[in-house]
Amino acid sequence: MTDQERLASLNQILSDLLGDDLIVLTMDTVREDVSGWDSFAYINFIVAVEAEFGVKRMPQTIAARNPVDRARRQADMGDDAGARC
């Protein structure tokens, strides 16, 4: 899976969670950039990413300033190595 494919998956996950099909994520997107992406939605995003990509987020990545890039990198670990963090 390419970075763009992972990003598209993350975009779909967040769009589904927030009920907003107009969301467009980039590798530089931060939570403050997306209307409605509060702490509760972020926890749901983490759980959905874990389920979609078969990875577990490490605690230090949960507080990341850039959750999109962190999630994309975690998804990469799940694809390439079947890793569980």
Q: Tell whether the model's pLDDT for residue 85 goes beyond 70.
A: no
Angle (nearest 5°) at CA 11 between 22 and 65 = 105
Task: Give this prediction's pTM.
Answer: 0.71
Tokens 């972020």: give the residue.
Answer: 42
The mean predicted confidence, pLDDT, of the chain is: 81
Average pLDDT over residues 8-37: 94
The percent of residues above 70 in pLDDT, for the chain, comes to 73
Residue 39 amino acid letter:
S
Where would I find the H helices in the chain?
3-18, 39-53, 59-62, 67-81
Confidence band for 78, pLDDT divided at 50, 70 and 90: low
Check: CB of residue 43 under 8 Å from CB of residue 80.
Answer: no
For 3-81, CATH gives: 1.10.1200.10
- Domain residue ranges in the chain: 3-81
Q: Does residue 12 or residue 59 have the better pLDDT? A: 12
Q: DSSP 3-state assignment of 25?
A: coil
